[in-house]
Each structure stands twice: as structure tokens, then as C-alpha cells.
Amino acid sequence: MKRITFAASVVAIGALTLLPFLWFMLTSWKTASEISAIPPVLLPSFHWDNYRSAVEKYGVFHYIANSAIVAGSTTLISILIASLAGFALARFRLCWARFYLMLLLALSMFPQIAIAGPVWRLLNFLDWLNSYQGIVAAYISLSLPFAIWVLTTFFQELPYDIEEAALIDGCSRWQALRLIVFPLAAPGVFTAAILVFIHVWNEFFFALIILTNPALQTLPVGIALFPGEYTMPWGEIAAASTIATLPLVALTLIFQRRIVQGLSAGAVKG
Amino acid sequence: MSNSRDPVWRFLLPSLVFVGVFSLYPILESFRLSFYRMILTLPWLGQKFVAWENYRDLITDPVALGSLTTSMIFVIGTTPIEVLLGLAMALVLNESFRGRGWLRAIVLIPWAVPTVVSSQMWRFIFNDRYGFFNFLLFGNATQFYWAPLAEPGLALMSIMTADIWKTSSFAGLIILAGLQGIPGELYEAAGIDGAGPWQKFRYVTLPMIKPALLLALLFRTIDALKVFDLVFVMTQGGPADTTNVLQFYGYKKTFAEGMIGYGSAIAVTVFLVSLLLSILYIRMLGSGLLRKEKPA
């Protein structure tokens, strides 16, 4: 009896989390008449027209390229900056390290709208609206609190002995970070990078206000603003959504252990 | 400890610059702008200092008050359910059984799906003519089909459903970390004292994961106050402003209507509400949690 209840809850959790998305994915291989059929058609005829049209008519690859550029450069730069800061916070005995970490935690809690107007004006002043550098700058500052927290935690867990020996041998702090701490902490740095990448790839609010030029828009904006007021092109939306999501699902499945660790050990922000 | 060859500030400066320019300054600027009247896209018309007028307008604006209520309903209606579902997930994932790795991977999927994608997905499921939700309720009797996203009572519930689907697993992961930190001896000791499974859960598990539960609740609450993507894609705040949450209203005022002064007053309000909630939760948690995470 107990085993049956347990098995039932395993199945229920799996089904409730997986089925809605699976249903949407299956929609991407359906024809228009299969999509609007009542009763619903469970298995699609697996035709690829929606994908062709999502790519050719709606330019999905174009949005993907923008997302990859923006998420890739944000991840690279913010991990670099956060490693420097995390190293300093973990290794130098700073009386205000705790204050800085608390400030970062507080900043990561603020709703985006609390800074959206001034950020827009600032980027407008710099003439950085509708530019990669504008959105990347905004994203770096959004990801820094999380990245710094996670990396500080990882750096603290590293043994200090090797580093100390190197410092005694005349190594500079900078060399210690570059040659010892960074390679040792590589798994942690990588985890932080994946989490930042996923977060930025999915970000919508700032992309919406900063990138109004379709040529520069990222994937979430493209999917949210999918054209079609009265009859929605559900097949194409589902196809584009599948393309947008599969890389993330793949990343998540490959690195699930690390992601779970990073989210719970750092447990700062989602 | 500092080394004269490379002083501390060099390591911290890049992060301080970004955080200062793109987070700290904008927040202070939002506070300042909330006392002015100006049009976002027409800055040359100048900014006029209006003191508390934006805030006076805010408390007499029925849409703003409705928006605050909607946000509160959203927070109260989603976060406890997300934490409870997360607890259920965590309890199951904490057992060892065949296929556990698979289940943990599956549970991560809603978290990895972009919110915009899950918004379109639920919009499709709640479609008024061929959505799966209607089929579940009414089968082939299409004459009874609802338009959940166009019904004032149902639209908010639809969005809440989508949010619960997307974020319960995040709550689950935090709680799972808490569960895994419970030493096995505690259960052994309770077993020797004759505790059954329910008593073990009630007197060992629950007290031990209380910090994790509160942490999950805190993160979910702060995030629920920020809800935007779901509303933007699924309802645009409608029907009749019933899903017009604070963050969406602030966006509309600032960017669609260009009223950055008034929009900033809304932004400051959202900011204060989330600050208040954070302080409240942190006091409830006690300082234990923060002390644990504090760097050496």
C-alpha cells in the first residue's frame, strides 16, 4: 500500500511537470487542422512546416543568434567580474565584505520596474538603446549579485594552504587567483556560468524595453511578440518555443547535478 | 592581509562600477523621479517638481489600488501552494528509488523553460476554442467552452496556474537541500523512542527544514511580486484590469504612456512592498540563516 502511494506520487509529479510542455512540443508538429481539432489529436502527423515557417517567415535563427550573442557575452563578462569580486570577498579579510554581500542580496530582490525607467534614460543618454552593449551592460549588473554570491561561496570552500604557500613564495594575489584559485574552482565557476547563461537567455523585461528594433531582439521578445492578433499561429509559436527551449533543457539535463548544487548551495536567487 | 602590489579595490572595482551605475543609481533616481512630472520620451519638455502629487494620485487611483490588490492575491494565492508542492517533490526526491535521477531531471524542466515560452504554452492550453483545459472540463461539448483568459474571475487564476507550474520545482530544490542536511541519526533516535513515520515527519523533518521552507517562501514571494512575463503574454493586464499586477502597471505607465514620474511612484511602492516583505521574512527566519551563509 505504502509502495503504491509512493509510486503514484512519483508518477503524478512526473506527469504534471512534463505533460503540459510535451503537449506544447507535440503541437509544433501538427497541421493547423490537427491543432484546432476537437477532440484533440494526441499524436501529430510529424510534419515540419511549422519549423520551416518559423525559420523562414519569422526568422527564429536570427533571434537565436541575438540571444546567443547577448547571453554569451553577458555570461563571460559577468563571470570574470564576479570571480574578481568573489575572490576578494572570500580571501581578503574585509570588514565590509558582509555589508557588500547584503547589499547585493538586497539589490537582487528588487523588482525590475524599480530601476527600469532610469536604466532606460541612462542607456538613451549613452545612445545605447537598441544595441548589444546596452542590453549586455544591463544584464551584467542584473547577474552580478547572484554570480558574486555563488562564487564567493565556492571560493571559501577551497583549501587555503596551496595559495598561502604560493603567496609566501612571492606570488602576487592576482597570480594566486589566476594560477591557483581559478583552476581549482573551475567546477564552481562553470556552474555559476551555466546559471547566469540560463537566466539571461530567458530574460524578457529588460529585453522588451531596451530592444525595440526587431533586428536586435532576443528570442523571448520574438516569442512574446509573435505576430497574429485574431488567429494565433500556434504551430509556429510552438515550433519557435521548442527551438528556444531545447538547448536549455539539454543544458539542464546534462548538468543537472551542478545546477541543483548551484541553486541550493548558493541558494541566493533563482 | 592586503598586498601592496595589488590592492583589494582593484578586484572589487569592476563589480562596484556595474552595480553602482546600473543598479544603485537607478534605484535612487527612481526615488527622485517619483517627485517629478515628466514624459519619458520627451525629456526636453523638462521635469517639474511636484512633491507628493504622484503619490497622492496613486492612492486615489482606483486602477493602482486594484493593481496592488491583484499583486497581493497573486502572492498569497501562489506562494503557499508552490512551497507545499515543492515540499511534496522534495520529500519524494529525498527517497531512493529507481528512476530518481530521471524524476529529478524532469522536475527541473519547468524551471529551465523560458517564462515567455511557458506563458505561450498556458495561453494555448487555456485557449477558448481548442484549448486542452476546455476539453478536460467539457469534452466534446464545445458550446460550453470557456475563455478563461477573457473572464475577469478566471484570468488571474489561469496566470497563477502557469506560475505554480513554472516555479514549484525551484521551491522544491531549496527544500530538498534542507532535507538532505538532516542527519540520519535523528531518525534513528526517534525510531528507538518509538516514533512512527508521521511523528518522525512532524517532530524531526518539519522542524529541521523550517529554515529551508521559509527561505523558499521568501524567494517565491519576492519573485511573485515581480511577475510580468506571464501577464504580458497571456492577458496584457486584462480583462478589465483584473490581472494588472503592480509590475505590469508600472511598465504600462512608464513605457506605454511615458509617465515616468507616476511610473516611478509605482516602482517605489513595489520596491517598498518587497522590502517590507523581505524584512518581515528575515525576522521570521531569525538571523540564523544569514549567519550560516555569511562568509568567514
CB nearest to A115's CB, from B18, B27, B293:
B27
Cα nearest neighbour of A225 on chain B: B233
- Report A:8-37 residues touching B (Cβ under 8 A): 9-10, 13-14, 16-18, 20-21, 23-24, 27, 35-37
Band of the pLDDT at B1, cuts 50, 70, 90? very low
CB nearest to B103's CB, from A10, A98, A260:
A10
pLDDT at residue number B5: 58
pLDDT at residue number B64: 93
Q: Does the pLDDT of residue A268 top 50, yes or no?
A: no
Percent above pLDDT 90 for chain B:
55
Distance CA B264, CA B254 (A): 8
Cross-chain Cβ contact B106/A259 below 8 Å: no
pLDDT at residue number B40: 82
Whether chain B has a CB inside 8 Å of the CB on A95: the answer is no
pLDDT at residue number A170: 85
**Contact call for residues A219 and A244 (beta carbons, < 8 A):** yes
Cα nearest neighbour of B260 on chain A: A117
Cβ contacts (< 8 Å) between A142 and chain B: which residues?
Answer: 22-23
| A-interface mutation test, from B71, B74, B116, most A Cβ less than 10 A away | B116
Structure confidence by residue, pLDDT tens digits, B45-89: 777 888 898 999 899 999 999 999 999 999 999 999 999 999 999
The stretch A136-145 carries a mean pLDDT of 95
Query: What residue segments make up the domains of chain B, in order of their start?
Result: 47-117+165-293
pLDDT at residue number B295: 39
| B-interface mutation test, from A11, A96, A110, most B Cβ less than 10 A away | A110
For helices A234-254 and B100-112, angle between their N-to-C axes, nearest 10 degrees:
130
pLDDT at residue number A229: 62
Structure confidence by residue, pLDDT tens digits, A15-54: 999 999 999 999 999 998 898 888 888 888 888 999 999 9
Q: What is the Cα B206 distance to its own chain's centre?
A: 24
Cross-chain Cβ contact A260/B107 below 8 Å: no
Percent above pLDDT 90 for chain A:
52
* Residue B50 cell numbers, joined: 511636484
Q: Does the pLDDT of residue A186 top 80, yes or no?
A: yes
Distance CA B122, CA B167 (A): 14
- Report A:40-79 residues touching B (Cβ under 8 A): 40
Cross-chain Cβ contact A156/B296 below 8 Å: yes
| A-interface mutation test, from B2, B5, B12, most A Cβ less than 10 A away | B12
Cβ contacts (< 8 Å) between A17 and chain B: which residues?
Answer: 106-107, 109-110, 165, 169
Distance CA B265, CA B30 (A): 8
Q: Does the pLDDT of residue B294 top 50, yes or no?
A: no
* Gyration radius of chain B's alpha carbons: 24
Nearest to A148 by CA among A101, A112, A106, A188: A101
Least reliable range by pLDDT among A95-99, A129-133, A218-222, B137-141: A95-99
Distance CA A252, CA B112 (A): 7
Nearest to B94 by CA among B176, B172, B170: B176
Q: Does the pLDDT of residue B274 top 90, yes or no?
A: no
The stretch A163-186 carries a mean pLDDT of 85
ipTM: 0.91
Distance CA B263, CA A116 (A): 10
pLDDT at residue number B237: 92
What does pLDDT average to over chain B?
88
Domains and CATH numbers, chain A: 1-47 (no CATH), 58-266 (1.10.3720.10)
Whether chain B has a CB inside 8 Å of the CB on A125: the answer is no
Class of the CATH-defined domain B47-117+165-293: mainly alpha
**Contact call for residues A209 and A115 (beta carbons, < 8 A):** no
Q: Does the pLDDT of residue B278 top 80, yes or no?
A: no
Distance from CA of A21 to the nearest CA of B (A): 7
The stretch B228-238 carries a mean pLDDT of 94
Distance CA A255, CA B281 (A): 32
pLDDT at residue number A168: 87
Distance CA B225, CA B274 (A): 7
Per DSSP, B31 falls in state H
Cross-chain Cβ contact B247/A20 below 8 Å: no
What does pLDDT average to over chain A?
89
Cα nearest neighbour of B263 on chain A: A117
Percent above pLDDT 70 for chain B:
93
pLDDT at residue number A270: 33
The stretch B251-258 carries a mean pLDDT of 92
Cross-chain Cβ contact B132/A40 below 8 Å: yes
The stretch B206-220 carries a mean pLDDT of 88
Structure confidence by residue, pLDDT tens digits, A233-267: 999 999 999 999 998 999 888 888 888 877 765 55
Cross-chain Cβ contact B232/A204 below 8 Å: yes
Cα nearest neighbour of B262 on chain A: A117
The stretch B116-125 carries a mean pLDDT of 96
- Cβ burial of A46 (10 Å; 0-12, 13-18, 19+) is exposed
Please list, in sequence order, all residues whose beta carbon lies within 8 angstroms of the beta carbon of residue B241, skipping any fewer than 6 positions away: B63, B66, B67, B70
Cβ contacts (< 8 Å) between A245 and chain B: which residues?
Answer: 112-114, 117
Cα A162 to Cα A70, A73, A167, B72: the distances in Å are 37, 32, 9, 52
The stretch A143-148 carries a mean pLDDT of 93
